[in-house]
Amino acid sequence: MPGDRLKDLRPRPRVLMIGFAGHQGKEYLPIMRESADIVGGVDSAPPALPLAGEWGFPYYENLDDALKSVDFDAAVVTVPHGEHFPVCASLLAHGRHVIKEKPFAVTEPEARHLIRLAQQADRSVFTLLQRNFDPVFRFARENLARIGEPYWFSYDYHFNLARPTTGWRASWEQARGGVLLDMGYHLVDVLSGMFPEAPRVHSAFVHQYRETRDRGLEDLVGLMCSYPSRGLEGSLLISRHSLAKAEHLCVLGSEGALNVAPGAATLHAVGGAQLERCAPEGSRTDITRSMIAHYLERLEDRDYRRDHLLRQLATVRTIDGIYRDRSGGSSELAHRCA
Ligand SMILES: NC(=O)c1ccc[n+]([C@@H]2O[C@H](COP(=O)([O-])OP(=O)(O)OC[C@H]3O[C@@H](n4cnc5c(N)ncnc54)[C@H](O)[C@@H]3O)[C@@H](O)[C@H]2O)c1
């Protein structure tokens, strides 16, 4: 029987939305409904109750109430970083799959703890990372071998927010880091899919505002990543208050180069001649839709689950290592890769 017809016969997963009244939660509501039955929503923010009414699903003020009242297969978790672990631990203790926003975890020990809980419960914990489902980044991964030996990359990602960070991102307890953890998680994860973990990282943590400096929440981070055994170096520059919103990855190799920006990726010969271009027509919503459908179809796939957890552990380990060593300004990560 063709795969699509088999898919049609599977029951739609029942999903609980946790943090559904926030920015990211609201973005996922219409897309989630296409592939799953939303059987409830948890969020204590005042707009959450009327929003659940508009969408026609039961509302719960906290997760404990939902766990007592409604049966579901998986939960989608879009809450502030400080809430991720307790929410996910509780879901796994109740035998539920988790599809969660980044970061997978805020420290390496927390990531390892979460992986143990997922393994004990035999449940999935998938992290929502759109770039892994974006055709332009897929083009970059698939064409990496065509540029020969990569010797340099630069990856920049900037927002142009005109005011100091507010809300939970301005609280260390809730954010657990500044731009490196928040925006940089995406970039470090993209690099995890292309290169091994960087054995050495030099970092510069920069603050535009006194309050973010006082709270240890960097507004800008610059990283120099070294892979001495591969002859590869690379830089990451991530900020919230730049002149323009921008994202750009460039990889230079012995036989060519890759250039990736939102909406288009190009492969070049040495010297710049364009060899191939990928400029897909789909929207950001299409990418999110394919990511969500992909995870919902693999909730019971233990091999896929294991690979996903290992990749997320690597991403968390890199970021945690950079934060822990920031006072020294340089991070020797090799010993943690063993
Ligand atoms: N992938 C992306 O591009 C992207 C973009 C933005 C945010 N995010 C991630 O999404 C998550 C949420 O960020 P946001 O910008 O949507 O924040 P937000 O403040 O807009 O939304 C968070 C929501 O969670 C609710 N909440 C807080 N604690 C809760 C709890 N214990 N149980 C249930 N609900 C709770 C809040 O009331 C709020 O409605 C973060 O992990 C963030 O990193 C990802």
- The CATH number linked to 182 is 3.30.360.10
Tell me how far the alpha carbon of residue 244 lies from the centroid of ligand 1, in angstroms.
Answer: 24
For residues 198 and 331, state if they share a domain. Answer: yes
In 203-282, where does DSSP find H-type helix?
A: 210-215
Q: Name the helix (H) or strand (E) containing 311.
A: helix 302-324
User: Which residues neighbour 218 within 8 Å (Cβ) at sequence distance 6 or greater?
Assistant: 177, 178, 179, 180, 205, 206, 207, 212
Both 196 and 309 in one domain: the answer is yes
10-47 pLDDT, tens digit each: 789 999 999 999 999 999 999 999 999 999 999 999 99
Instruction: Print the domain residue range for 144.
Output: 131-284+300-337
Q: Can you give the pLDDT at residue 199? A: 93
* Nearest atom (ligand 1) to Cα of 101: 41
Q: What is the pLDDT of residues 275-296, one digit of tens each?
A: 999 999 999 999 999 999 999 9
Q: End of a domain among 102, 128, 154? A: 128
Are residue 41 and residue 61 in the same domain, yes or no? yes
Q: How many CA atoms lie within 13 A of 222 on its CB side?
A: 3
What distance in angstroms lies between residue 212's CA and the mean position of ligand 1's atoms? Answer: 20
Domain boundary among 128, 161, 191: 128
Report the pLDDT value the prediction gives residue 336, as an integer from 0 to 100: 37
Same domain, 135 and 189: yes
- Ligand 1 pocket mutation pick from 43, 51, 76, 91 by most atoms within 8 angstroms of CB: 43
> Do 325 and 198 lie in a common domain?
yes
Mean pLDDT by 10 residues, the chain (338 residues): 58 97 98 97 98 98 98 98 98 98 98 98 98 98 98 98 96 98 98 95 96 96 96 98 98 98 97 97 96 97 98 97 76 40
Last residue of a domain, one of 128, 151, 180: 128
Residue 145 CA, chain-centre distance (Å), reads: 25
Residue 266 placed within a domain: yes
User: What is the spatial distance between Cα 40 and Cα 56, in angstroms, rounded to a whole number?
Assistant: 9
E strand map for 138-270:
150-160, 200-206, 220-227, 232-239, 241-253, 256-261, 264-269
55 lines ligand 1 (CB under 6 A): no
- Are 12 and 116 members of one domain? yes
With a 6 A CB cut-off, is 23 part of the ligand 1 pocket? yes
For the chain, the maximum distance between any two Cα atoms, rounded to a whole number of angstroms, is 63
What's the pLDDT at 56?
98
pLDDT in the model for residue 337: 32
